[in-house]
Structure 1
């Protein structure tokens, strides 16, 4: 992306588009479309395509598609610590650490969503602290890449939103690619404490 402001606009738009498509979310589509119109092609065009899709789809159909895409599939989770920590006790510590970063930057959550939800992280990177937001997104990049690949694999228009997010990040390093591949092969960590 060209500028920090372009990245912030793209990230805020993606955050809004990754929320559950209720009436309030759909009511902001026009605003999002206008905001992304001037972005560089790599992020702007995928966001415009998704907005076109969302504007044309009936609301109930879009909501059902969202649930099928994100809520029912582990490989397509929007909670980033799930990729790094799975359903383990360690995930609670990771969530607390993300909250601590937000609090240290003066960013208060309303409690409606977990702090590692990609939409929350993107909004923090856009409107909160851009430096810390960038570091969080880069730390979650293997999970973002895994999610992005899974969205392309299932053919959902939400893949466009993740393509735009990826365009705001540095190109994945070789280590990030290896971590994403390991995650894809093994899945998130699990905990076997107390199981025979």
Structure 2
């Protein structure tokens, strides 16, 4: 139950979340593996989130999770980056989902954290805990970055680590953060976009004039896509 709640809260906020908020609080009251203190912290998160205007919550979510890679909810982004290993990892994870009877739509990426949590929620408790332990270093790093940005979402990752019963070396996490530059600034985002465009056209054999023309035509045209999982994890 806890993982389904956390999965839903990490999804892009939608009207259904506001409409079914009482069901969310009812589900929270039935959790078995959160301490009273952690259940209270989660309740405060839900209360504060749902007290916001929906459009404001959506804008904050997009600003947080869809700008740059540091806080991406795509797990393999933090493991494989753009390497070819990512594709095979996706295939392997998709096979795990299928064995568990979890069907994905054509728009869903297997390594999207909310989807992975929904998958773990279908497993026996010990297996779910082991699944969380597998991604504990990623959860710790994401949580630390969100805390650094003073985001309320940091508490979600703290609770996931508590459920994972996993101890993370805080000194190593803080040392990595200390050496990082923010990748969600306009300058950083522009640099990444330009690098990807140059790489794309270099692979296609286009000259600089073609690159410039493409940039002028399509600048700002790409919009993020969001995935939604219904309350309670049903599709």
- Higher alpha-carbon Rg: 2
Structure with bigger helix share is 1
| Mapped partners of 1:158, 1:173: distance in 2 | 19
2:24 to 9, 28, 32: 32
Q: Does 1:21 align with 2:16?
A: no
**How many pairs were matched up?**
180
Give the superposed CA RMSD. 2.7
Where structure 2 has 5 or more consecutive residues not aligned to the other structure, the ranges are 182-198, 204-235
| Mapped partners of 1:111, 1:182: distance in 2 | 39
Q: Does 1:74 align with 2:69?
A: yes
**DSSP 3-state at the match of 1:113:** coil
Shift of 1:12: 0.8
Other-structure match for 2:155: 160
Other-structure match for 2:167: 172
Runs of 4+ aligned residues of structure 1 deviating over 4 Å after TM superposition are 128-132, 180-187
Listed one character per residue, the Cα deviations across residues 110-152 of structure 1 (whole Å, up to 9, x for unaligned) are 2332111111111111135655543332211111111011111
Where structure 1 has 5 or more consecutive residues not aligned to the other structure, the ranges are 1-8
State TM-score, norm by structure 1. 0.79
Shift of 1:167: 1.6
Residues 177 and 108 of structure 1: CA distance in aligned 2, closer, same or farther (over 3 Å): farther
| Mapped partners of 1:102, 1:130: distance in 2 | 16
2:100 to 105, 110, 120: 105
Residues 135 and 96 of structure 1: CA distance in aligned 2, closer, same or farther (over 3 Å): farther
Please list, as runs of the form range in 1=range in 2, the aligned pairs for 1:55-94 lying within 5 A after superposition: 55-94=50-89
2:145 to 136, 147, 150: 150
**DSSP 3-state at the match of 1:103:** helix
2:65–2:73: 8 Å Cα contact kept in structure 1? yes
More moved, 145-154 vs 119-128: 119-128
Residues 165 and 28 of structure 1: CA distance in aligned 2, closer, same or farther (over 3 Å): farther
Other-structure match for 1:5: none
1:49 to 44, 47, 50: 44
